[in-house]
Amino acid sequence: MRIKQFVFNPFGVNGFVLSNDAGDAILIDPSVSNEREEDALASYIEQSKLTVKHLFNTHLHLDHVLGNAFVARKYGVQPEAHEEDAFMLDLQEEQSEMFGLPLREPSPGLGNYLAEGDAVGVPGIGLQVIHVAGHSPGGIAFFCEKPGEVNGQKAPPLLFPGDIIFAGSRGRSDLFGGDDDALVSGIKNKLLSLPKETVVFPGHGPMTTIGDERRWY
């Protein structure tokens, strides 16, 4: 597996391109917000000779869906996320005004719902969907238990939790159906029970590990 990380839009969203040896690619939160970011993402995909198979959103707050329309139009894939977050796609203009985040083009509707326990991905990249409500009602993390080699190095398990958990902190819970009790419970029971060596690629900020995050709970 190859992992390419980008940092997109004024909110600094970490977007990821996961790809296998055959060139099949998964995009996680590719939230491009301007032509420069669109060109950077498209250039990487083109130069790496990738075929985009999936567009996964960890949740549907505006800062994580800004690139959905571009990706859907250019690569012919529809966003996939948890059904309980779908209502936020009807609130994109409201979120734009609230956050002061320009909305160039609204995200299209979801092409597929992802739920707890779903196994998704492409050959060689298996991801398990973990639903953790609290930052948003439908927040999900993607767990790769056996990534094999990543960028040429043997790798431990990987987790892409969006804004559920960060290095040394967790997502805010005061927006659009947030619930801090549910968030803390989900983190403790579903994420911190993963192997301690699991490398965490959060939706904002630096990487961490499950072992490092256990000390805060």
Q: What is the pLDDT of residues 2-19, one digit of tens each?
A: 999 999 999 999 999 999
3-state helix, strand, coil split of the chain in percent (to 5) is 25, 30, 45
In this prediction, residue 143 has a pLDDT band, given cuts at 50, 70 and 90, of very high
**Beta carbons of 84 and 77 less than 8 angstroms apart:** no
Token pair for 38: 């669109």
Question: If DSSP codes are grouped into helix, strand and coil, which group holds residue 180?
Answer: helix
pLDDT value of position 193: 97
**To the nearest whole percent, how much of the chain has pLDDT over 70?**
100
Q: For the chain, which domains are there?
A: 2-214 (3.60.15.10)
Asked if pLDDT for residue 99 goes beyond 90, the answer is no
pLDDT value of position 74: 98
Residue 80 bridge partners (DSSP): 56, 112
Q: What mean pLDDT is reported for the chain? A: 97
**Beta carbons of 32 and 107 less than 8 angstroms apart:** no
In this prediction, residue 85 has a pLDDT band, given cuts at 50, 70 and 90, of very high
Each residue of 179-206: pLDDT tens digit? Answer: 999 999 999 999 999 999 999 999 999 9
Question: If DSSP codes are grouped into helix, strand and coil, which group holds residue 175?
Answer: coil
Using CA atoms, how far apart are residues 79 and 62, in angstroms rounded to an integer?
13
